[in-house]
Structures are given as structure tokens and as C-alpha cells.
Amino acid sequence: MTHPARTGKELTGRVAVVTGSSSGIGRAIALAFAEAGADVLVHCRQARREAEAVAAEINRSGQGSGVLQEDLAEAVACDRLVDEAYAEHERIDIWVNNAGMDVLTGQAASLGFDEKLDLLLAVDVKATIRLSRLVGERMKAAGGGVILNLGWDQAETGMNTDSGQLFGASKGAVMCFTRSLSVALAPEVRVNCLAPGWIRTAWGEQAPEAWQHRAEGEAVLGRWGAPEDIAAAARFLASPAAAFITGQTMRINGGAVRT
């Protein structure tokens, strides 16, 4: 019998939930998990059509999928999301807290600092903590699982803008929480954090030229990251190959050098 890891299906038999997976990094992670053999539940806040398109793509690949829709800014919605996921499947093996508030593009970009901070704390921090604790408790009782959170590579080094302060505070909290949760849920559940650098998502695609040069210049690999770069790291950390890795923050930033 061929081992799943040797066929590129290292997540065969696993069930995953990826929050905020209707587009961008979340979409890439969901598709990467499906490619590795997992069934994947897709989550969205408003973009139902886009989420259904991702689920359909997963189904076409031969894996199971479905769409869960909840606004994670509300604690009760976080509770519902977990209940809905476990109603779909008796167990969840992998949970990725990718959902985050976009305060850089769209309507939220025009909000003031305090309003943006409230949104980031509600979704990026409080929802991540609540979902992780709820899912982690169930995973630990079931005897195993993997939780992945999303941080930011500059949370520890700092960035001199309002956005730097906003994301430094929110993503820094997620990174520190990840370490403590990994201790609480060990040895049954592994908990790690992905810390992306400059990734060409919606904001990156429309960023001013100066930011384009900055992103390419800071990465020693000389390019923006792609959502698929983060997905590849998530796929590894969710797999049996990462069985001895927990409580860690993995920076996926092209070897960024900052002064």
C-alpha cells in the first residue's frame, strides 16, 4: 500500500475548516488542503457566491466541501460556526483562523483609527481566540487536531504607519495567544501561526508604486509573495510531516530584511 504522503495526498481522510476562505489567502489554503486529500468547509462573511465557487472547485477535485456563512465579529456567530461545522462532520481535524477584517480597502479604509482597531480586535483577535478555544477543546477530547492562526511578520519588528500600529497590536496578540494555546492543548493538538510578509492580495494588487518597490526590495527573493506561498506553508504545518512542530510562528516573507 502506498503511503498518502508519497502520493501528494498527505491529508487524506482529514476534514478542515478555513475561515475567510472565499478569496485570497484563505481560498488558496482551502484549495491546497483539498489537493492534499482533505475535505474542506469554506467560510465567508458576505461573499456567498465566491465561497460557493471555491466549494464547487473543491468538489470538482473529488473532495467534499460546503459553505458556512457567519459574521465573526459577533461572539454568538463564532459559536454557531463551530456548531455548524461539527453538524456537517463528526470531527474536525484542521481548523484555520484566516478570517480578518479588511481595513485597507473598501468602505472600512475610510474609517478612523479607533474604529479600525475595534474591527480588528473583534475579528482578528477575539474571534480567533474564541474559535480556537471552542475547537481546541473538542479536538483535545477527540484525541488530536491542528489549529493554524494568521499573524503578521512585522508584528515583532514594527512598521511606522497607522496600519503598522493596528496590525502590530492585533496580529501580535494572535501570535502570543498561539504560543499559550499550544501549551494548553498539548500533546493532543498542535497549534501554530503563519506570519505572512508582503502578499499580493486585494490591497497588494492596487498598492501605490512606492509600496510595490518596498515590498520587492525588502524580500531578499525580490518579489511579492502569493497566496499560494502561504497555502504551501499551511499545508505542511497541517500535515503529519510537521508532527513535532507546535507553538511556533512561521514567517513566510521571502527572507525580508528591514532596517
Closest C-alpha among 206, 98, 108, 114 to residue 152 = 98
Q: Which residue has the cell 528591514?
A: 258
CA dihedral 249, 251, 256, 259 (to 10 degrees): -20
Cβ atoms of 106 and 23 closer than 8 Å: no
Instruction: Quote the longest CA-to-CA distance of the chain.
Output: 59
pLDDT tens digits for 197-239?
Answer: 888 876 667 777 787 778 788 888 988 899 999 999 999 999 9
N-terminal to C-terminal alpha carbon distance within the chain: 52
In a domain? residue 3: no
The answer, yes or no, to whether residue 94 has pLDDT greater than 60, is: yes
Closest C-alpha among 42, 34, 43, 31 to residue 13 = 34
Task: Note down the domain range covering 23.
Answer: 11-251
In a domain? residue 104: yes
In a domain? residue 5: no
In a domain? residue 240: yes
Closest C-alpha among 255, 204, 193 to residue 227 = 204
In a domain? residue 75: yes
In a domain? residue 112: yes
Give how many domains the chain has, as a whole number. Answer: 1
pLDDT tens digits for 30-68?
Answer: 999 999 999 999 999 999 999 999 999 999 999 999 999
The length of the chain is 259
Q: What's the whole-number mean pLDDT along residues 64-87?
A: 98
pLDDT value of residue 125: 98
Q: What's the whole-number mean pLDDT along residues 85-107?
A: 94
The answer, yes or no, to whether residue 1 has pLDDT greater than 70, is: no
pLDDT value of residue 7: 55
CATH number, position 31 = 3.40.50.720
In a domain? residue 257: no
In a domain? residue 229: yes
Task: Report the distance separating Cα 248 and Cα 37, nearest Å.
Answer: 25
Q: Where are the alpha helices (DSSP H) in 143-226?
A: 162-185, 202-206, 209-218
Task: Report the distance separating Cα 49 and Cα 28, nearest Å.
Answer: 16
